[in-house]
């Protein structure tokens, strides 16, 4: 049983039929382009490109009311094989708590920050 009348789409084809999801996807693509997330290059014949898929979510406020339509374009990293498709992983994400700890340590030890 669902408490909300609107459901999150399970696929791109389902989402593309709704104008509000189209707007959300356009905003996500614009953000990725603005942040220069990727470069378009010619793929070598020995390389198999990684696919991607859309993940959709309806964000709600703590009281359950609608907040916004959110989507992400994510890589299908689960299709890769370590040592063949990749050698190491990297995710440029940091939590604010980590930044606070580093800043506190820098202050306590009088470190220079750049």
**pTM summary value:** 0.61
Top-confidence residue, 6 or 3: 6
Cα of 91 vs its chain's centroid, Å: 11
* Interval 53-102: pLDDT, tens: 999 999 988 888 888 899 999 888 777 777 777 777 777 788 899 999 99
């Amino acid at each position: 049983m669902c408490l909300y009348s609107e459901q999150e789409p399970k696929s791109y084809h389902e989402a593309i039929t709704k104008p509000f999801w189209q707007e959300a996807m356009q905003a996500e693509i614009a953000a990725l382009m603005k942040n220069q997330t990727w470069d378009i290059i010619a793929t070598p014949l020995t390389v198999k490109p990684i696919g991607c898929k859309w993940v959709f979510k309806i964000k709600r406020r703590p009281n359950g009311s609608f907040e916004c339509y959110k989507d992400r374009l994510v890589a299908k990293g689960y299709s890769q094989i370590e040592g063949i498709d990749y050698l190491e992983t990297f995710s440029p994400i940091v939590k604010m708590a980590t930044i606070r700890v580093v800043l506190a340590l820098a202050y306590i030890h009088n470190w220079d920050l750049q």
